[in-house]
Chain A
Amino acid sequence: MSQENHTPKRNGWLEDDIADLMRHETAQFDPDQGLDRFMAAVAAHPKSQPIPSLWQRINNRLSMIGLTPALASLVIVFQFAVLVVMSTSEQTGQPATEFRGYSATSEAVPDLKLRVNPDADFAGLASLLNANGCRIVAGPSQQGEIWISVEDKRRIGEVKAILLQSKLIDDVSVKR
């Protein structure tokens, strides 16, 4: 019981007897009077679960997958760092590939290195090489280079000249 400085004086017979009378009277009241009505009202007003806050909902979801908020924050920071590193390396590395495609290598030794025109039709290029007994052994590189071997090694010079005349190819150099 909190008592202020100005607690009513209670040091006399009258105050004591008033307190005694009132407490006696209060004790006469049946504690169950009106209880049925009250409990019916309580039953009619069941406690609804409080709507969880956004933070509580996040917490609940995290706990469902076994994460604490601190651990989840760490994961997010880590993922963000990975994204930053990836985007940075993309910006500082090679420019975007000029020639996209499957780069293959072969055990065959290349005879010629071709620098393919960026606008070249690959099907046309394949026909040209096939017609001249050439086989792709490596490439294309990001710079559009292809390494080829010539089946008839005696014709390397001839094949080089033929390929140089094609608009599909910018340059041809002998590898040996």
Chain B
Amino acid sequence: MTPTDAQVIALLNQMSQGDQKAAQQLYRHFAPVIRSFLLRSGANESLVEEAVQETMLSLWKHPDRFQLNLGASFKTWLLTIAQRRLSDILKKQNKTVPLDESKRAGDSDENSAGSDGTDDGQDPGEGPPDGYARLRQQEKRNLLDECMNKLKGTHRQMLSMAYEHEMSGKEIADSMDIPEGTVKSALHYAKALMRKCLELRFQGEMR
């Protein structure tokens, strides 16, 4: 279970006193979260692992840098740090297209939707495709996962921040250094693509 911010603060205080067990505890809680989040960008696993290690080590070295009064949760703050670490690593390696081979296999957002990446006006809040609700959870996950892999890495990360980690639009915007309006339209667009993909896949399954 993810620790609360108060528990995190206590662990950070212990860590600042040199408590390695506290560092281990924080790692076991947050390294998987960071790893999962960064892998959604499409970066390959070794670079992501590097970023995870650097992020957690910087936390060990400077546990005092996290300030609750900044208004962000610890997880939001940590994901932002991790995202920047990964960007730095990619820049060092001149990796402008950090996509894994497996991710490249899928179509890009543009190929799937034929859009320029802005809000296409479709309402992704409409009901699910016919029969979708009757699927078992694992079947739904498989379908969603297929569609998720068609999205751009940044869109997957935005969806993760918005729905997995329940970050606000402003937090996502700050984390990714983009305007909040862009976040909103990108989320709307990504969901529209997901819905469209699901409809196509689901129809295919039914045939």
Chain A interface residues (CB < 8 Å from chain B): 1-27, 29-35, 37-39, 41-43, 45-47
B128 near A13 with CB under 8 A, answer yes
**B184 proximal to A (CB < 8 A):** yes
A41 touching B171 in the complex, CB below 8 Å, given contacts A10-B163, A12-B124: no
B141 near A20 with CB under 8 A, answer yes
Interfacial chain B residues near A37, Cβ < 8 Å? 53
Interfacial chain A residues near B169, Cβ < 8 Å? 4, 6-8
Flag B107-130 by CB within 8 Å of A: 1 or 0 each: 000000000000000001101100
User: 7 more A-B contacts (CB under 8 A) besides A5-B168, A18-B144, A21-B148?
Assistant: A10-B166, A22-B36, A23-B164, A33-B35, A38-B27, A39-B24, A41-B57
Closest 9 CB pairs of A and B: A47-B18, A4-B168, A29-B32, A22-B164, A26-B36, A19-B163, A8-B162, A31-B28, A6-B169
B57 near A2 with CB under 8 A, answer no
| In the bound complex, CA of A154 to CA of B35 (Å) | 120
What's the least CB distance linking B194 to chain A, in Å?
Answer: 6
- Interface of B (DSSP majority class): helix
A22: contacting residue among B32, B125, B132, B163, CB under 8 A: B163
Interfacial chain A residues near B133, Cβ < 8 Å? 13
Q: Which residue of B lies closest to A41 (CB)?
A: B57
| In the bound complex, CA of A53 to CA of B28 (Å) | 35
Flag B175-207 by CB within 8 Å of A: 1 or 0 each: 000001001100100010011000000000000
A32 near B124 with CB under 8 A, answer no
A6 touching B49 in the complex, CB below 8 Å, given contacts A21-B148, A22-B164, A35-B27: no
